[in-house]
Amino acid sequence: MQLLVDAFNPVTLDALMCKSHVSVAHDGSLFDCDFNLALNTPLGGKSTARSIHDLASLSDLGNTPVTTGSHCFGCTAGSGSS
Instruction: State the Cα–Cα distance between residues 61 and 2, nearest whole angstrom.
Output: 33
- The reported pLDDT for the residue numbered 54 is 84
pLDDT greater at residue 23 or residue 57? 23
**Is 66 within a domain?**
yes
Tens digits of per-residue pLDDT, 4-52?
A: 999 999 999 999 989 888 899 999 999 999 999 999 998 877 766 688 8
Cα-Cα-Cα-Cα dihedral sign, residues 57, 59, 44, 18: positive
More reliable by pLDDT, 81 or 66: 66
What is the residue range of 16's domain? 2-76
Residue 16 domain-assigned (yes or no): yes
Task: State how many domains the chain has.
Answer: 1
Distance (Å) of CA 68 to CA 27, 32, 71: 22, 9, 8
Domain assignment present for 81: no
